[in-house]
Amino acid sequence: MKRNFIIQFVFLIPIVGIFISCSDKNRFTVKGMIKDGNEKVLYLENVTTSKAILLDSVKLSKNGLYKFKHERPTVPDFYRLRLNNQLINFAVDSTEIITINSDTLRFAQDYTVEGSSESEYIKTLTLLQLKTSETFNQLQKDYRSQTITADEYSEKANACIKEYKKEATNFIYDNPASTSAYFALFQQVNGLLLFDPYDKSDSKAYGAVANNWNQRYPEAPRTKHLVNLFTTALAIMRGEQARNFDANMVDSKDYFDVSLLSVDNKAYRLSEIGKDNVVLVDFTAYEMNESPLHNQQLAKVYEKYRAQGFRIYQISLDTDEHFWKNAAVNLPWICVIDPQSVDSDIIKKYNVRELPTGFILNRKGEFVKRVENYAELESDILSCLK
């Protein structure tokens, strides 16, 4: 069956590192001028895999000049300049001085970079991500207002993400050991990764960068994070590894419990449905043209294995609640709706980038597989029921 993309966006990922300074081999310098920046405060931050750490700040001079010096990282790392809520990401690896000039109005869009080719590449990727984000934000707005259908949304979202990946892939495979490759790989829109580690094609990009970083910087926290992500996703795609699903945690590291309203206005909690059962968590939208065929596929497997403890927890992202109720009322499994639709925090937590998307939990509440092909769902479920 054709699988449709449903993606959101937000800016994520950091940047790379710089090493030596002319006067001090253990420090790097970032300097420049911010037009119309008189008296404004500029911040220098280090961006880790989980948060941004404030390193220094400076009040801009009358002519907008600034200069930061900081201890250089031992391995490439990511940094950014922050002016109010605007961000400029840059990379530090073997460069001693980076010059970044901009203005206060379009600080994060119209800046220039000198002294670091990697940071120039990161600017290109940043602007590409911004373009993608703007497109998706408009698509979400149109879908919420029902100006476009779910199928139209998916088709346009699919085209948009392909355009980003087509350009970003060049940065990854041209030099997979570079900071721009790492940056390209982890760009997000509204909290979702543009390169999906669970997608077979995208997984190759993760593998290329992970292998190269692991060869050069095996002890770096960023490398360990990337290698863990890649190997875990690869194992899950192969059905070789389970991840814990803690029913007592509302927000765990990988997946989290869900409680949503059904057609009869009753709240159903996923962890309760999952007790001693094998559960398919199915994200879908009944408005989509292929929804009837998708549900027919589910029904065959459900009827065959429900007596053995197979359950379906189907989460709808439809914008028309009345339409959803009419479509879901006669389905034999648990049908709930997320009123946030494409703005859902749930799909961000589960990194749902296309519809339908499914996850299988075993009887112990462990995440055992992300469904790659619903035509193989029966074999996936049967392996968990044994």
**What confidence tens digit (pLDDT) does each residue in 312-329 have?**
999 999 988 989 999 999
Residue 287, pLDDT > 80, answer yes
Q: What is the pLDDT of residues 120-129, one digit of tens each?
A: 999 999 999 9
Helix (H) or strand (E) holding 304: helix 291-305
Whether 69 has a pLDDT exceeding 60, the answer reads yes
Q: What is the pLDDT of residue 250?
A: 31
Residue 386's pLDDT is: 79
Tokens representing 71 are 């201890």
Q: Given a cut of 80, is residue 74 above it in pLDDT?
A: yes
Contact 245, 365 (CB under 8 A): yes
User: What six digits make up the tokens of 351?
Assistant: 């990194």
Q: What pLDDT does residue 256 have?
A: 67
- Local confidence band at 253 (pLDDT 50, 70, 90 cut-offs): very low
Q: Which among 31, 30, 40, 37 has a CA at the least distance from the CA of 103?
A: 37
**Per-residue pLDDT for 252 more than 50?**
no
pLDDT confidence tier of residue 239, bands split at 50, 70 and 90: low
Q: What is the pTM of this model?
A: 0.73
pLDDT per residue as tens digits for the range 148-195: 988 898 889 889 999 999 999 999 999 999 999 999 999 988 778 899
- In the chain, beta strands by DSSP E: 4-5, 27-35, 41-47, 52-59, 65-71, 77-83, 86-92, 97-103, 112-114, 188-189, 192-193, 243-244, 259-262, 267-269, 278-284, 310-316, 334-337, 354-355, 357-361, 366-371
Q: Is the model's pLDDT at 2 over the cut of 60?
A: no
Residue 186 has a pLDDT of 93
Answer yes or no: is pLDDT of 255 > 70.
no
Share of the chain above pLDDT 90, in %: 57
What per-residue confidence (pLDDT) applies to 309?
95
- What lies within 8 Å, CB to CB, of 14 at 6+ separation is 47, 48, 49, 52, 77, 78, 79, 80, 89, 183
Determine the 3-state secondary structure of 116 from DSSP.
coil
Residue ranges with strand state E in 273-320: 278-284, 310-316
Residue 271: strand, helix, or coil: helix
Instruction: Look at residue 126 in the predicted model and tell me its pLDDT.
Output: 95
Phi then psi dihedrals of residue 274, to 5 deg: -80, -5
Q: CA 107, 111, 114: angle at the middle one, nearest 5? A: 145
> Which among 2-16, 136-150, 241-255, 337-351 has the top mean pLDDT?
136-150
Quick: pLDDT tens for 358-381: 999 888 877 788 887 899 999 989
Among 30, 21, 5, 165, residue whose Cα is nearest residue 94: 21
Contact between 11 and 183 under an 8 Å Cβ cutoff? The reply is no
Average pLDDT over residues 228-245: 66
CA distances from residue 202 to 84, 135, 187, 193 in whole angstroms, order as listed = 34, 21, 13, 11
Q: Name the token pair of 22.
A: 């002319």
State the average pLDDT for the chain. 86
Q: How many CB atoms neighbour CB 162 within 10 A?
A: 10
Give 103: exposed, middle or buried? Use CB within 10 Å, 0-12, 13-18, 19+: middle
* Of 371, 295, 343, 349, the residue nearest 7 (C-alpha): 343
Pairing state between β 192-193 and 188-189: antiparallel
pLDDT tens-digit readout, 8-59: 433 344 434 333 334 467 899 999 999 998 889 999 999 998 899 999 999 9
